[in-house]
Amino acid sequence: MKKNIITFILLFVLLFNVVFITDAFAVSQPTISAPSGILIDFQTGDVLYEKNGNTPMYPASTTKIMTALLTLENCTLDEVVTIDDKSPFTGGSRIYLNEGEKVTVEQLLYALLVKSANDAAVALAIHISENVDSFANLMNKRAKELGAKNTNFTNPNGLPDPNHITTAYDLALIAKKAMEIPKFREIVKTSRYEIPPTNEQEETRYLKNSNRLLWGTGGRNKMEYKGELIDIKYDIVDGIKTGYTVAAQQCLVATAQKDGHRVISVVLKATGKNIYSDTRTLLDYAFEGFKTIKLTIGNKKVKSIYVNNDKSLNINLLTKNTLYKTVPKDGSYNIQKKVEITDGIKLPIEKGQILGQIIYTNNDSEFAKVDLISDRSLEEKKLFPTFTIGKSILIGLSSLILLFLIYRTIVTMRRIKRRKIKKRRLGKYKQVNKYKK
């Protein structure tokens, strides 16, 4: 009996662990070997899978996603960088830059993301912020702006440092932002790149991407996946960045697109080729199990309201933006929505002011919302309507009185003038009669 109870408990725990709650949906989750991983939808940012996604980990060279993002946000591609006296001495993977060598920002970005060159990372950091410490501060500031709350970068390349940490979720947020930049997308899907000779390097540098999902076929580029031996290369993958140190082990941030649907996966501290099989497990899980739907479009009229119950103060509430969400393909959801209006709305109201929300739920669990905004501005009434009417009557009466006074003045002046003329005529008449006598 006791044995049966233990067996039942173990089965219950097992079943519980294969159910994953994401955005109010219960979906069977896949299994990966790595201790930390996450999967998000690129368009919506919805988390589709998580395993210790907020646990601090060493990111190794996946750090360079942030370095590339800051470079693209702060530099132009044709800027010429003169290599400083520190970058050439950076250890690990590098392209052997020389002091005084002149290369473009674009070339350094390819070295950074394709070859995973640590010296290129330091060169870009010094070019942007004059020193590595200042650049690390910039990295951390940008990470916080993106919502990466559990990240602390100390260098631009991910070389070992106990204080250089991030999480799978934070890396996904950083990668999502970087993937919004066309040049970043172009670079991270590049398998091979050449840097021609420079003023300090006579030979062409040939770069090969460290991400075997882009090119790995045949020979040693095979992996076991779902009981079969297949090529590591996966045609739907088009980036992003690998990483490795002894402490971090194998790390990979990857992205793939299928039928217009893009997702981003992060796998940290995997061993050997498991980094690729874990990544493919997550990517396939996304495309086989989820789809993106449009809940509402932006600027859609949802409701009309009266402010202070005054029918002359009517405004329309519009959706602030278009809202997409990622849901299971099997239709195992029942989306409901409710409109909530902000209490105590007062004048004045600005156009675009948030006055409410649409809240979307599934099985009574909130999973999305969109703000409702005013379609126009409304000024505060300074005077009551009765006073305005009284003021209009007063102005009218004043105008009539003024006109009457003007009229009386003209009439009086004319009478005075006629009296003067009559008096002059009378005087002349008396003078004539005097002479006749």
Which region holds residue 269: left if phi is over 0, alpha if psi is between -120 and 50, else beta? left
Using left for φ > 0, alpha for ψ between -120 and 50, and beta otherwise, residue 258 falls in beta
Alpha-carbon distance of 48 to 33, in angstroms, equals 17
**Across-strand partners of 264?**
40, 255
Which residue, 59, 83, 209, is CA-closest to 139? 59
What is the rounded distance in angstroms from the CA atom of residue 16 to the CA atom of residue 19?
A: 6
Q: Which of 36, 87, 93, 116 is catalytic?
A: 116
Catalytic residue among 36, 61, 265, 277, which? Answer: 61
265 is catalytic: no
Omega before 35 cis (within 30°)?
Answer: no
CA distances from 151 to 37, 168, 230 (A): 15, 10, 35
Q: Which of 124, 128, 100 shows the shortest CA–CA distance to 110?
A: 124
3-state DSSP assignment of residue 396: helix
Is 116 tagged catalytic? yes
258 tagged catalytic: no
Alpha-carbon distance of 195 to 187, in angstroms, equals: 14
- Cβ neighbours, 10 Å, residue 274: 18
For the packed helices 118-129 and 132-145, what is the interaxial angle rounded to 10 degrees?
90
User: What is the SS3 assignment for 335?
Assistant: strand
Which among 318, 354, 228, 220 has a CA at the least distance from the CA of 280? 228
Given the residues 36, 51, 64, 129, the one annotated as active site: 64
DSSP 178: H
Active site (catalytic) residues? 61, 64, 116
